[in-house]
Structure 1
């Protein structure tokens, strides 16, 4: 599972994450929501060992990400701004990622097929559409067959068919007993994909619970989300 407790992260002396805590459980998709600048990406960067916390802990399977010997075999991640070198082919990128974590090369063709890029495997990444680039990033996250998936805005650039495919992928992984943490601005999709929700605003968690609990009394997740933000605004 993912366990985040009393997490604080500062940039330039300002706390962008303050005492954040939540758990993402195996067998469930946890939606991580918040407006731009709320602290979602900072939280995920600490979780994935890209930044160090000023206080608190962020653990995967009971340890810090940096303590994992072969991290891709435990955690697969898709982050905004991360991607393949544009001069490489899709297959070459995935082969390099696989070698870095001791993953068999045969796994490369398996994940290319899973994400629907088998026919584009030998094309340069610079020729990929935005949606194809997202599929390649998801393929890299799946390479190690990880027990945990962390995805930051994985739906960007995907057409309706691609969005539906991601939804099925995440639900299937959760059904297999894996932990899925999904950060997205596509509220309607989070509403039908996530079992649990964590909402963060101004660096602090404002609510957490099952999707039905968070949306209770509201017509939609979007309505519930904005009601929570309005409640947090100073009078």
Structure 2
């Protein structure tokens, strides 16, 4: 369970987040949607201990991320690309992450195979395309066989095969009882994988619930998203 309650974040007089509530439950894929600047990345960074809130709580299985021992065994995340030095190989990058969290070395080959990078394990990250970098980031997230996955724009840069592979991985993770929280701007892809949806706009949650509830009365998730975030009003102004 990933649980965020009454989360607030200010930078000076600017309100980044205001009373954000979010729950991502085991056995489900929860999509976290919102325009650029809405507060998605700030929320995820606080959840993963990379930033501190002004108020409220963000917990991973009832505990703050910073208090987790061997955190990659509990929650795997992908935020801003592979996070690897360009001169390192994909295999070396994953190997040091594994060592730092007490993860068996065998997992390196396994996750490279899972994400479709088995043939590129000895390739230097600096030569990777955007999509290959995203695959490497996903491999790092999967490395500790975590109970929860937190993925920020995981589809960005992936080709059709990569998108299909990612879809299968997140659905399989949820089917095995794992928790998945992902953000994306691709509404069609979200609609294909999500069980629950949380929509944020202007630092506030404007809708949350099962996909069918959030889209009720709208032709598609995209239409619901535009209506909920005020896009249609802005376009008509």
Q: Report the TM-score range of the alignment, normalised by the length of the smaller protein.
A: over 0.9
d(CA) in 2 for partners of 1:66, 1:76? 14
Partner of 1:122: helix, strand, or coil? coil
Q: In the alignment, what sits opposite 2:127? A: 127
Partner of 2:229: helix, strand, or coil? helix
Q: TM-score, normalised by structure 1?
A: 0.97
Deviation by residue 1:133-172 (Cα, 9 ceiling, x = unmatched) = 1100000000000000000000011011111111111000
Partner of 2:88: helix, strand, or coil? coil
Residue 14 of structure 1 deviates from its aligned partner by: 1.3
**CA RMSD after TM alignment:** 1.5
Q: In the alignment, what sits opposite 1:95? A: 95
Partner of 1:80: helix, strand, or coil? coil
Instruction: Note if contact 2:71-2:101 (Cα within 8 Å) is conserved in structure 1.
Output: yes
Gaps in structure 1 of 5+ consecutive residues: none
d(CA) in 2 for partners of 1:121, 1:198? 36
Residue 82 of structure 1 deviates from its aligned partner by: 5.2
Residue 113 of structure 1 deviates from its aligned partner by: 1.0
Q: In the alignment, what sits opposite 2:85? A: 85
Instruction: Note if contact 2:25-2:179 (Cα within 8 Å) is conserved in structure 1.
Output: yes
Q: In the alignment, what sits opposite 1:66? A: 66
Runs of 4+ in 1 over 4 A off after TM superposition: 231-235
Q: In the alignment, what sits opposite 1:214? A: 214
Q: TM-score, normalised by structure 2?
A: 0.96
1:7-156 correspondence to structure 2 within 5 Å? 7-81=7-81, 83-156=83-156
Moved more, 78-87 or 172-181: 78-87
Aligned residues: 235
Partner of 1:156: helix, strand, or coil? coil
Gaps in structure 2 of 5+ consecutive residues: none
